[in-house]
Amino acid sequence: MRSLAVDVIKQAFSQTPGEKLHKKLYVAICSCILEGSLRPAARMPPTRDLANELVLSRNTVLRVYEQLQAEGYISTRTSSGTFVTESVLDNLNTQVAKSAQVALPEDNASLSSRCLELLENASASPAQWGDFIPGVPDVNSFPHRTFKKIYDRVARRPSPEHLTYDAASGLEILKSALSDYLRTARGVKCSTDQILITEGIHQALDLVTRTLCNPGDHAWIEEPGYWGIKNILRMNAVNITALDVDDQGLVPQPSPDKKPKLIFVTPSHQYPLGSVMSLPRRQLLLSQAREFQSWIVEDDYDSEFRFSGQPIPSLQGLEENSPVIYIGTFSKTLYPALRLGYVVLPEPLAAPLKKVHNELYRSGHQMIQAALAEFIREGYYAAHIRKMRQLYNKRRTLLVELIKAHLGEKYLGWFNSNAGLHLIIQLPAHTDDIGIAKQANADGILVRPLSRYYFNHQKLSGLLVGFASINDSDMVPSFMRLAAIIKQHSSPSL
């Protein structure tokens, strides 16, 4: 009569991956013992019987039994047979207990103070797709078929440089296409030698901060401003001075106690408030940068999506040899998962920063870069932006109408310029925008609280509401749910 142990081992053996039969059988029997399928003191099947059932040689089974016996899993009794060791689980539990007594660092004890501060102030959203998420384009409208045709054409006969490490901080063909596009569309003055391809904005900001700042240096940022800049500066031990933003953009300090090494601005569409930096303010900032021997880092955020008036040229292009590091990304114009951005460097910085970039990051994506270069060269990129500008303008108009109709015009502040991929719902003073955002997020509405974008002290309470990635048919019911949550948290007297 076949024992139950044979059936248990046979089933475990069939479910255990691996090609080496003796190892596969060893793992199967160990699993049965540790999981309790073979209890302590249970009789093991005779080696001949087990070999016949599993269609193995008896020597293979003998070899496994010998190993299990040597390790204390099983034991043999003369004239009685082989059994699972009665104390096998006790022995294992003792070993686990001893290992648990070894002194380990306390929670977070091995993390740096800079890391702990970043974790305390982490702002990145765990969800990156949902109703009203700010800063995410309509990825469903990307011309996937067109881009795939171009990519397939590039991949059919890739050059060796497309398949090895990137040693030039980006393919020359992409930098050339970008140089032409930025010159025409944004008024950027540069040669291809000044362009460096990155894996998005964060890598660009980190590279610039690492290479140009020493620990203890000072940097200016906008208040409120992008949380990613704050975290990168913190991780590089750079002191932060957060300067107010008004309807003309960043308000510079005339005579700062500590001169900034870097000045971070979003002049074309301030993030998150949306104001556009005026020409006099731009000229003042350029003058101060030269006086302080500072570098301005221009994040040309959402510059492609302006829905009225003339496009605002870049700060970088206002002067020849300007002290401006210009950064941009394809995340908003194409899709975030592309993970491609770019930096236009002043000539004195181009060679050293490219070398540092190659040493630290070892970028790749050359095949995607080659396809993107053709996508730009053949006019598809500019055409896609024109198409999306019309679509986003329509969605923005609908969102404005919904806010006015169901909340009131006072919920639209001065900072909502006619550009970008989000609007701000301005809430009454002292309204808990974090509480509203949490409740909305739990309902799949991924608005973000404005208060999280302040570094020193919160001046405005509000919600960032993205309109780019939500269809018209979904916008109305989602907004009605959001409006109900806002009213629930607002004072009846307001």
Tens of pLDDT along 177-230?
Answer: 999 999 988 999 999 999 999 988 999 999 999 999 999 999 999 999 988 899
CA atoms within 13 A on the CB side of 338: 27
- The answer for residues whose C-beta is within 8 angstroms of residue 348's C-beta and 6 or more apart is none
Angle at 96 between CA 95 and CA 101, to 5 degrees: 100
* Res 101: pLDDT: 47
Q: In angstroms, what CA-CA distances link 393 with 49, 142, 313, 419?
A: 76, 17, 20, 8
Query: Six-digit token pair at 485?
Result: 């949550």
Residue 331's nearest CA partner among 223, 421, 227 is 421
Q: Which of 264-273, 319-328, 355-364 has the lowest mean pLDDT?
A: 355-364
- Between these two residues, 269 and 96, which has the higher pLDDT value? 269
- The answer for residues whose C-beta is within 8 angstroms of residue 354's C-beta and 6 or more apart is 168, 169, 196, 345
Average pLDDT over residues 240-254: 90
Tell which CATH architecture fits domain 383-490: Alpha-Beta Complex (3.90)
Tell whether the model's pLDDT for residue 109 goes beyond 80.
no
% of the chain with per-residue pLDDT over 70: 91
Tell me the DSSP string of 81-148.
Answer: EEEE-TTHHHHHHHHHHHHHHS--PPTTTTS-HHHHHHHHT----S---SBT-TT---GGGS-HHHHH
Specify the pTM: 0.75
Tell me the DSSP string of 179-245.
Answer: HHHHHHHH-----GGGEEEESSHHHHHHHHHHHH--TT-EEEEEES--HHHHHHHHHTT-EEEEEEE
Tell which CATH architecture fits domain 114-122+142-381: 3-Layer(aba) Sandwich (3.40)
Q: Which of 114-128, 338-352, 422-436 has the lowest mean pLDDT?
A: 114-128
Query: Six-digit token pair at 163?
Result: 């398949």
Measured between alpha carbons, how far is 125 from 169 in angstroms, rounded to an integer? 29
Average pLDDT over residues 445-474: 89
- Parts of the chain belonging to CATH 3.90.1150.10: 383-490
445 neighbors 437 (Cβ within 8 angstroms): no
In this structure, the dihedral spanned by the alpha carbons of residues 235, 239, 244 and 249, taken in order and rounded to 10 degrees, is -70
In this structure, the dihedral spanned by the alpha carbons of residues 227, 421, 185 and 148, taken in order and rounded to 10 degrees, is 100
Q: How confident is the model at residue 95 (pLDDT cuts 50, 70, 90)?
A: low
C-alpha 365 chain-centroid distance: 17
Query: 371-413 pLDDT, tens per residue?
Result: 999 999 999 999 999 999 999 999 999 999 999 999 988 888 7
4-91, what's its fold?
Answer: Arc Repressor Mutant, subunit A (1.10.10)
Q: How confident is the model at residue 69 (pLDDT cuts 50, 70, 90)?
A: confident
Query: 34-60 pLDDT, tens per residue?
Result: 888 888 888 888 989 888 988 999 998
Query: Six-digit token pair at 225?
Result: 């401003």
* Res 96: pLDDT: 46
Q: In angstroms, what CA-CA distances link 309 with 302, 305, 393, 414, 419?
A: 15, 11, 13, 17, 10
* Res 73: pLDDT: 87
- Parts of the chain belonging to CATH 1.10.10.10: 4-91
Q: Which of 196-205, 266-275, 453-462 has the lowest mean pLDDT?
A: 453-462
* Res 415: pLDDT: 66
- The answer for residues whose C-beta is within 8 angstroms of residue 233's C-beta and 6 or more apart is 209, 219, 221, 240
Mean pLDDT of all residues belonging to the chain:
86
- Between these two residues, 429 and 120, which has the higher pLDDT value? 429
Residue where the block lists tokens 């990613």: 228
Tell whether the model's pLDDT for residue 1 goes beyond 70.
no
* Res 126: pLDDT: 63
- Name the amino acid, one letter, at 7: D
366 neighbors 166 (Cβ within 8 angstroms): yes
Measured between alpha carbons, how far is 369 from 176 in angstroms, rounded to an integer? 12
190 neighbors 344 (Cβ within 8 angstroms): yes
Q: How confident is the model at residue 304 (pLDDT cuts 50, 70, 90)?
A: confident
- Parts of the chain belonging to CATH 3.40.640.10: 114-122+142-381
* Res 88: pLDDT: 67
Q: Give the Cβ contact number of residue 112 at 10 Å.
A: 11
* Res 204: pLDDT: 93
Residue 330's nearest CA partner among 371, 297, 277 is 371
Query: Six-digit token pair at 172?
Result: 């020359």
Query: Six-digit token pair at 394?
Result: 């329509």
Tell whether the model's pLDDT for residue 452 goes beyond 60.
yes
Measured between alpha carbons, how far is 40 from 22 in angstroms, rounded to an integer? 23
Residue 54's nearest CA partner among 75, 26, 35, 77 is 26
Measured between alpha carbons, how far is 162 from 155 in angstroms, rounded to an integer? 9
363 neighbors 170 (Cβ within 8 angstroms): yes
